[in-house]
Amino acid sequence: MATIINLKGTKEAPKNSRSSMETRIISIAGVQQWKVPPFQRPVRVNAKVQEAAQSTRENEAIEGVITLGQVRGDLAYYIVDGQHRIEGFKISGIEEALVDVRVVTFEDFAEMANEFVKLNSSLVRMRPDDLLRGMEDATISLQLIRKHCPFVGYDQIRRASTGAPIVGMSVILRCWAGSAGETPTSTMAGQSVSSLAKTTDETSARQLIQFLGNAHQAWGRDPEYYRLWGALTFRFACGCTVASLSTATGWATSASWC
């Protein structure tokens, strides 16, 4: 890491056993050593990131506070907050910049992911799937779905590609929740997808996994079935499955009823 600068007219803040903040000069080479944790969203270089790059170039400083995380027992630094400002620095064309860096020590990645959700930069608007990605390490239902249904993802939905997700997690949760009533609905009783993820228990998650497995076996990635993975059709199919599960008749009955 780069040299710490001693600023005139300031004094050292009280130490915190879990976090510390310092003003540093960072270099491109130093930033390259910081790791991206698994819950971070993909970098999107939009107009705001370009503006951040221009500001960094003109002022030779990165705005705001960059939050880095460490897990106990791991010496690596992980980017928790400020990923897009860091990207702006990388494309700014300068080799060094002044920045306030906050370093927080976490017990595990789940705790780090919770901090990411709370502190994420507003340079790029977080989508529902970005929030869900950050919640996965601390949410059993999301972990189960991802483990048993690798074709469900958070970004880069590409139904024609064998390695990419077929359907987004937020679509799955919305459709499953909207299918709970007698008539499929899109209101979700006013709940956000993050709230739905928290309230989906293990039993419901395993029922959803059973449905997803059957849907994937029946539809797969064939082009003629692309529309079936869409939200409207998918919600109706989920409704059929929920109805069949409530009457203990299984997937075969729901499939024939649809």
Q: Which pLDDT score is estimated for 254?
A: 37
98, containing H or E segment = strand 96-106
**119 vs 122: CA distance, rounded Å:** 9
Q: Which pLDDT score is estimated for 255?
A: 36
**70 vs 152: CA distance, rounded Å:** 29
Structure tokens at 181: 């009533």
Question: How many CA atoms, within 13 angstroms, populate the side-chain half-sphere of residue 216?
Answer: 17
**252 vs 256: CA distance, rounded Å:** 6
Q: What is the rounded end-to-end Cα distance, in angstroms, of the chain? A: 60
Q: What is the mean pLDDT of residues 128-155?
A: 91
**139 vs 54: CA distance, rounded Å:** 38
Q: What is the pLDDT of residues 160-219, one digit of tens each?
A: 666 788 888 988 888 888 776 666 555 555 577 888 898 899 999 999 999 899 888 888
Given a contact cutoff of 8 angstroms between Cβ atoms, the answer to whether 181 and 187 are in contact is: no
**215 vs 97: CA distance, rounded Å:** 51
Given a contact cutoff of 8 angstroms between Cβ atoms, the answer to whether 151 and 167 are in contact is: yes
Structure tokens at 33: 């050593």
Question: How many CA atoms, within 13 angstroms, populate the side-chain half-sphere of residue 42?
Answer: 9
Q: Which pLDDT score is estimated for 16?
A: 45
256, containing H or E segment = helix 250-257
Does pLDDT of 256 surpass 50? no
pLDDT band for position 123 (50/70/90)? low
Exposed (0-12), middle (13-18) or buried (19+): which is 52, by Cβ within 10 Å?
Answer: buried
Return all residues near 231 (Cβ < 8 A) that are at least 6 apart: 171, 174, 175, 186
* Sign, CA torsion 241/243/246/247: negative
Q: What is the pLDDT of residues 125-141, one digit of tens each?
A: 778 888 899 899 989 99
Q: Is the pTM of this model over 0.95?
A: no
